Structure 1
Amino acid sequence: MAKTVLITGGSRGIGQACAIAFARQGYQVAINYIHSKEKAEALAQELSAQGHPALAVGADVSRKDQVEAMFQQVEAAFGPVDILVNNAGIAQQKLFTDLTEEDWDRMFQVDVKGMFLCCQRALRTMLHSHSGSIVNLSSIWGISGASCEVHYSAAKAAVIGLTKALAQELGPSHIRVNCVAPGVINTEMNGLLGEETLAALAEETPLGILGEPEDVAKAVLFLAGEEARFITGQVLSPNGGFVI
């Protein structure tokens, strides 16, 4: 029987690449979205037309009631979630002295609380079956920190701490928890930085290029699957050498 993967923030960028990668490996794919309904539904329809069972499901991951409804919808369509990819997140560039409480709270609500809520809900069935895999998306800025992104860096560092602690707690239940911390990736979100900034970031990267969403998706797919059966609590950072 095919396994089911739920990818939060799966309608575009890294999430979209993950959805395609998992579908091609025979997984039933649930694609979560909050704003990009048309993109999520189009992706699900495209994958389904190719013979890959896929479902688009809307939810704000920072809302417990919506997370519950999302899981119920996925379980009704595909059965229990075997693999959870916590990719949903927001980013913001702002001087620390200009940050508002609302900026700080929203960052942690989506990037950390959303992950907490999704992990808790997924574990309801994973603990029962004594199996499962969770992959959390952090960032190189969660490892090294970034100027003008203090709240984002802090939230992504919290993701790494959550991953390591949860991996220890869930190990005896044969549930693995790992983290992928991408470098500068050629996504729609990073496209807002402008061509000049992106070119400078590529120059700063030892490999001399920016990553593509597919590079991150391959890392996520590896950590989620049986090839990584002896790997848990780890942070894999596809970043071209930007942070070593």
Structure 2
Amino acid sequence: MSVRKHILITGATGGVGAATAIALASPEVLLSLHYHSNKEQAEDVSKACRELGAEVYLIQCNLRSSTGVDELIEQLIMPVDTLIYTAGYSLQGLLTELTDTELTDLMSVHLFSPIKLTRALLPHMISKKVGKIMMLSSIWGVTGASYEVAYSAAKGGLNSFVKALAKEVAPSGIQVNAIAPGALETNMMAIYEPGEQQQLKDEIPAGRFGKPEEIADAVLFLVSEQSNYINGQIIEINGAWH
């Protein structure tokens, strides 16, 4: 019996994380699905993946915590072949109004934890001379956004991490990429009133928000063998917005 590929997805209860987990689920994979607090949603995603034949394990930890990555690593049952980091949340507000705690938490989830987690998982990938690392960035990490300055900075840092790390590990047969979505039909849009959402849609040439499943389709390609020569790229998926 062949060994199943072990895929770790952080933020698996979010719109993109859940869609990606379900899209990847098959008898050929073992999924470790991380969540922070939404256990019910995590169990629903896990059930859907198992019904598609995947072996699934749930991992709970808080990636805002300085010990979050260590707690996640301790719960892994075997080395990881593919890392898909989708954990995150938005933080809006004037930079001058953000507290130190808000800044630290944001940077922990969007920048420090993905770096620390990747660092912990890389030795296995390097020893095997194969591995896939996929980060979920944002359009604001590319263009920047007022009222989301810290979030933009974190995602911009993540983009630079992807580009730099790809150069470092490409000789070991490892691909590191990121997807930078525009506005998506996820819970992050719930903070906007219907009228505000329509104004956003009017700014997007495609005339609509993206769907989590459309991002998941791109993730599937980037972690497949068909993408082995794509490395160090920030793939923008935004309906031609910006």
Residue in structure 1 matched with residue 63 of structure 2 by the alignment = 61
CA RMSD of aligned residues (A): 1.6
Q: Distance in 2 between matches of 1:228 and 1:155?
A: 26
> Where does structure 1 lack aligned partners over 5 or more consecutive residues?
none
Residue in structure 2 matched with residue 125 of structure 1 by the alignment = 124
Deviation at 1:172, TM superposition (A): 1.0
Preserved CA contact (<8 Å) 1:61 1:115: no
Q: Distance in 2 between matches of 1:221 and 1:55?
A: 20
Which AA in structure 2 matches 1:33? Y
Which AA in structure 2 matches 1:116? I
- 1:4 is paired with a residue of what secondary structure? strand
Change (3 A) 1:240 1:138: same
Q: Distance in 2 between matches of 1:60 and 1:217?
A: 23
Q: How does 1:156-175 map to 2 (within 5 A)?
A: 156-175=155-174
Residue in structure 1 matched with residue 210 of structure 2 by the alignment = 211
Q: What percent of counterpart residues are identical?
A: 36
Preserved CA contact (<8 Å) 2:27 2:53: no
The normalised TM-score by structure 2 is 0.94
Q: How does 1:9-20 map to 2 (within 5 A)?
A: 9-20=11-22
Structure 1 residues 147-177: Cα deviation after superposition (integer angstroms, max 9, x where no partner): 1000000001001000000001111111110
Q: Distance in 2 between matches of 1:99 and 1:87?
A: 23
Preserved CA contact (<8 Å) 2:32 2:57: yes
Residue in structure 2 matched with residue 43 of structure 1 by the alignment = 45
Task: Give the aligned length.
Answer: 240
Structure 1 residues 180-238: Cα deviation after superposition (integer angstroms, max 9, x where no partner): 00000000121222221111111111111110101111111111111101010001111
Q: Distance in 1 between matches of 2:67 and 2:95?
A: 32
Q: Distance in 1 between matches of 2:31 and 2:189?
A: 25
The normalised TM-score by structure 1 is 0.93
Q: Distance in 2 between matches of 1:191 and 1:71?
A: 32
> Where does structure 2 lack aligned partners over 5 or more consecutive residues?
none
Residue in structure 2 matched with residue 7 of structure 1 by the alignment = 9
Preserved CA contact (<8 Å) 1:96 1:150: yes
Change (3 A) 1:81 1:193: same
Residue in structure 1 matched with residue 179 of structure 2 by the alignment = 180
Which AA in structure 2 matches 1:68? D
Segments ≥4 residues shifted beyond 3 Å: 62-66
Q: Distance in 1 between matches of 2:184 and 2:222?
A: 19
Structure 1 residues 107-154: Cα deviation after superposition (integer angstroms, max 9, x where no partner): 111110111111011113112211101001110001111110000000
